[in-house]
Amino acid sequence: MPMTWEEKIAYHKNRSNQIAQSIIEQIEEGIDKWEMPWHKGLPQAFNRVTGKYYGGNNLLILWEECLKKDYSQNVWATMRQWNRINSGVKAGSKGTLVKFVIPQNEIEEYDQLELELADDQADDVDGFRIFFHYVFNVDQVTNNRQNQIGIFDTQKSGFALIDEFVEKAEVDVEHKGNRAFYSVKNDLVTMPHKASFKSVNDATPLENYYATLLHEIIHWTGHPSRCDRSLINKFGTPRYAFEELIAELGTAILTTQFQNRNVPRLTHAKYVRNWLTILKNDFNYFLQALKLSRTAIHWLFEKTEILPFELKDHYNRLVDEKFAESLDDYVKEIKADTALQKVIDSWDELDEAARERIMIFIRNEFSEKN
């Protein structure tokens, strides 16, 4: 029996929440190993007919479906869309529910072909038009060989293609020292020489080098002349942990598209607990980081023109002062929790007078607040 409108809203929300919880749990489990769930690869979900990428919770839902069902590609379309290109959905296949929310004043500007080929009805809620579609993976359709598209149609190896990508992006890269970093002040990416890199887990030294380079290039896109993340990308500031999450997710998408391994970086471990504190309070920050990383990648693909197909319009996300300040509030909580934890951990080592002073302070604080 088909789901009602209310059931679809509840289902999509519950599934999004389950994926959020799963990602948080995987981050917690990977702290000691410096491994995050996206290190296994984060392919962008692509609509075969419209040429657009899925974003937000839809991207996470389709990513999870690919992992669970072991689909060969993250390529999707509705039943009507597959039929339009003579690729019928196999009997017994079950669709995956995705949701689109479009401001009513932007309906006329939206891709009309996509709306016409939707498989489900829409509804208006608080100034937005909400659509639910069931989409099917390319592995669920007949005649699918003609639809299996390579992200890059080239004879070049993955490493040579990344070199071309960096050159066309006009990234200023210098090789020296033993540390990889991006300097906003000098607008310069500094990388150790390739020979300095070693194997990490199953990744070769060259895979390690190129994963690190792509990570720094995501940071490079944050310059005011590009995607402008200047409110959060100053190294050493409390907000920088969020910039690192953007770079982590952006690197996962790029390494997947270039078929290169993503490599866990020990230096990022210090940011993980900050991510956890923020994401446990509000998982929307993960979605914001994902949107900002995809904005960076879209900028890079527009600049380099390296994709073998036309790049569709993308709604670019920017960092405003209100959003940056909301990060500061969480950072204050993290610092307060850390200070309290230090007191708790060292309680047995304190003398009686010190304990009494702390207890007096706490009683006074509670008395004032009450």
- Look at 352 and 77; give whichever has higher pLDDT: 77
Cα dist from 96 to 63, 121, 147, 297, whole Å: 11, 16, 19, 26
pLDDT surpasses 50 at 370: no
pLDDT surpasses 90 at 231: no
pLDDT surpasses 80 at 363: no
Provide the percentage of residues in the chain whose pLDDT is more than 90.
32
Identify the top-confidence range among 15-29, 99-113, 184-198: 184-198
Give the pLDDT score at 70: 92
Amino acid at 30: G
3-state secondary structure of 77: strand
Give the pLDDT score at 69: 93
pLDDT tens, position by position, 274-284: 777 788 888 88
Give the pLDDT score at 202: 80
Give the pLDDT score at 242: 86
Q: Which of 86-90, 99-103, 299-303 has the lowest mean pLDDT?
A: 99-103
| Mean predicted confidence (pLDDT) in 112-139 | 73
Identify the top-confidence range among 32-41, 138-147, 340-349: 138-147
- Look at 201 and 111; give whichever has higher pLDDT: 201
Q: What is the band of 147 on the pLDDT scale with cuts at 50, 70, 90?
A: very low
| Mean predicted confidence (pLDDT) in 267-276 | 68
Give the pLDDT score at 148: 44
3-state secondary structure of 56: helix
| Mean predicted confidence (pLDDT) in 57-81 | 91
**Structure token pair of residue 176:** 């020296």
* Burial annotation 124-156 (CB, 10 A radius, 16+ → b, else e): eeeebbbbbbbbbbbbbbeebeebeeebbeeee
pLDDT tens, position by position, 89-119: 999 999 999 988 877 777 666 655 555 555 5
Q: What is the band of 348 on the pLDDT scale with cuts at 50, 70, 90?
A: low
Give the pLDDT score at 369: 47
pLDDT tens, position by position, 26-64: 878 776 666 677 777 788 888 888 888 888 899 999 999
| Mean predicted confidence (pLDDT) in 334-351 | 53
- Residue pair 253/44 in contact by the 8 Å Cβ criterion: yes
Q: What is the band of 302 on the pLDDT scale with cuts at 50, 70, 90?
A: very high
Give the pLDDT score at 361: 66
Count of residues for the chain? 370
How many beta carbons lie within 10 A of that of residue 307, not counting itself? 13
pLDDT surpasses 70 at 158: yes
Q: What is the band of 366 on the pLDDT scale with cuts at 50, 70, 90?
A: low
Give the pLDDT score at 146: 46
Mean pLDDT (the chain) is 80
Rounded (10°) CA dihedral 103, 106, 112, 114: -40
Give the pLDDT score at 257: 85
* Burial annotation 69-95 (CB, 10 A radius, 16+ → b, else e): eebebbbbbbbebbeeeebebeeeeeb
Q: What is the band of 355 on the pLDDT scale with cuts at 50, 70, 90?
A: low
- Look at 145 and 167; give whichever has higher pLDDT: 167
- Look at 254 and 148; give whichever has higher pLDDT: 254
